[in-house]
Structure 1
């Protein structure tokens, strides 16, 4: 069986897919406002499904905020990669290049994520009036803290910007569109006093949908006031993040486009994506057939190691159809030969239980760290298997 390292595979999946298509390195001229700069398009394009980037890499000025604003590592990863999937509905990867956001800086994003403040609160905080531009609701400051936070939760958790450059026939690249992700809280966490107990209030999806679309229209209006963004097409997408105890990420649930030169959002398109834990009540209620297949696989794994019950799966659905399944199997091994034998056994179970239109990834680990990786892509006859040394 062929081998592939976990690091290389993860990089390919995130940025460029998995089917090599090697081209010559290209030099282009990137147009920026009134200036022009030379840039390089890397020669390795692994798949037509994913965007190429340009070099030198230019990080967003708001880089790093995602980590501090979202609840879990799962949400952080999905918010970024899911926004790229949303972009593909509007910006063709064959024609556009990806670049991290260059227009919303850290201070601007921070101010937008604030609550809106009353005049008295602005004075108390010693803020400038022009900095009172928070997109979250006002906390009136009257009554007990829990009631105020239940009635006026923080809806907007984070704002993420991606830029898409269009290649011209004359060897230039200019901004062709901007994609904005709005991460919305399904749970608002708050404290009565600093360093005190943390409380929470759940936010209904219908409320997030309403508030997210309201905030989106305000964001579009503000983007049009930024130099360089007066006319470019805009896509804006809404993401519902999970609670801080979740072991699966949240998902995007709607997006809308703004045509060139307009400040009005077009009609909202539903995004039917979902991450589901196997086994779980959600899987039992909504995806029973797929859960049964997983449980049969789990049962066969457990026959290899009696009294073992640690097989966990994360399923990704689009339009209620299972797209890929990631499975973690933590096992205590007592030798490398045992790990190799178990990996071979699990590989056979993958081919036996899961139809080939589903992508499956299995990570086998022990207390010593990763032991093996098995990857079976869609319509693949023979999976990739890597045994860690």
Structure 2
């Protein structure tokens, strides 16, 4: 018998896949160089995979920039969640507490994302050399615009900061570490004139990685000049942003952990993860066996609606091994009973076609919004099914 449950339980399954840990709520003092404030550590820890968040929630000083600086909503979500995964390599989720970044405000972030200015450009803008903080290459504005942008593209598109707090005694918490994500362009977009046509130039991965690591070193030096960040561990991760036309997100490909007080990056850890669209040419070339599972599933879904072929999947790989598949099925229903019948049919297909060792999530939607959610975790005998009312 398939299980139909409440939305709250749906969220629980999506976030954890295991029972939440209920611990006592604590009130502590949050210390910085300049102030002491009362804060609360929540009593509920949803999963070992996620950090507790310090309350009251303090939004980042640069909140909102992520939406305008990244190409797609897929990158917005993945950069945030991917950075948390990387943080866990150095900051144990049992020990550390999450807080949005408080040190890079909007003004600072924007200035770092600029191009570096020439002396003449600084004079025109009536700026001081101390304000010339752009981390992207100079564009002199002279010569062929296509050649200029190809030779000196904008590499850095966004900077995301996360802070990790740690208990400092029984009744206080203090900053225990900082994690920085640098979003790098795989494609640079530019215009000849404002509101004009948009052109693009691809950035080879090797070039993007080389320039990203240079930028990371400079970011580290600047962070160390901030009073609160002089002597805390800092992790910096590099994220390859997907093109604007992509329907899957980009991915992190490298990170470095820098010890307390150090101003020098000595080595990098490789991150081998990616998202692949099912079906697609890339999937056929790189993951033929996995695509076969999906194709068989898709064909059986289309037997229910013979003239429909809108089933798409987003597959997540770590070290070239499939971890999970997130499938969307947009469909037009004529009644709730039809939606229920279709969901039951698809649930059976999920159990039949996909290997036990991967996680599968299927979202069934219509023009009226979400209709059903099916979640099958690895080695789970019974899938979770929710019909939206």
Q: CA RMSD in A?
A: 1.5
Q: What are structure 2's unaligned runs of at least 5 residues?
A: none
Specify the alignment match of 1:131 in structure 2: 131
Change (3 A) 1:17 1:97: farther
SS in 1 for 2:47: coil
TM-score of the superposed pair, with normalisation by structure 1:
0.97
1:267-303 CA-partner distances (Å, limit 9, x unpaired): 1010001000000011001111100011011111111
1:34: Cα distance to partner?
4.3
The question of whether the paired residues in 2 share the 8 Å contact of 1:12 and 1:46 is answered with no
Q: Render the CA deviation track for 1:153-198: whole Å, top value 9, x for unaligned.
A: 0000000100001123422211110000000000000000111000
Q: What's 1:141 paired with?
A: 141
Residue of structure 1 equivalent to 2:52: 52
> Which residue number in structure 1 is paired with residue 387 of structure 2?
387
Q: Is the 8 A contact 1:17 1:49 kept in 2?
A: no
- Give the deviation of 1:11 after TM superposition: 7.8
Q: Is the 8 A contact 1:188 1:200 kept in 2?
A: yes
* Structure 1 runs of 4+ with >3 Å offset: 1-14
1:325 aligns with 2:325: yes
Residue 334 of structure 1: how far off its partner (Å): 1.6
* Distance change in 2, residues 1:342/1:25 (3 Å): same
SS, match of residue 236 in structure 2:
strand
Q: How does 1:299-314 map to 2 (within 5 A)?
A: 299-314=299-314
Aligned to 2:150: 150
Per-residue deviation at 1:305?
A: 1.4
Alignment of 1:366-385 (within 5 A): 366-385=366-385
CA distance in structure 2 between the aligned counterparts of 1:316 and 1:170, rounded to whole angstroms: 40
Alignment of 1:150-229 (within 5 A): 150-229=150-229
Cα offset for 1:336? Answer: 1.3
Runs of 5+ consecutive residues of structure 1 not aligned to the other structure: none
In the alignment, the residues of structure 1 paired with residue 201 and residue 11 of structure 2 have an alpha-carbon distance, to the nearest angstrom, of 35
| Correspondence 1:25 to 2:28 | no
Whole-angstrom CA distance in 1 between matches of 2:273 and 2:178:
22
Once the two structures are superposed, what CA deviation does each residue of 1:50-80 show, in whole Å capped at 9, x if it has no partner? 1001111111101111001000000000011
Between the aligned partners of 2:382 and 2:13, the Cα distance in structure 1 is 19
Secondary structure of the 2:227 match is coil
Cα gap change, 1:208/1:364 in structure 2, threshold over 3 Å: closer, same or farther? same
Residue 12 of structure 1: CA displacement?
7.2
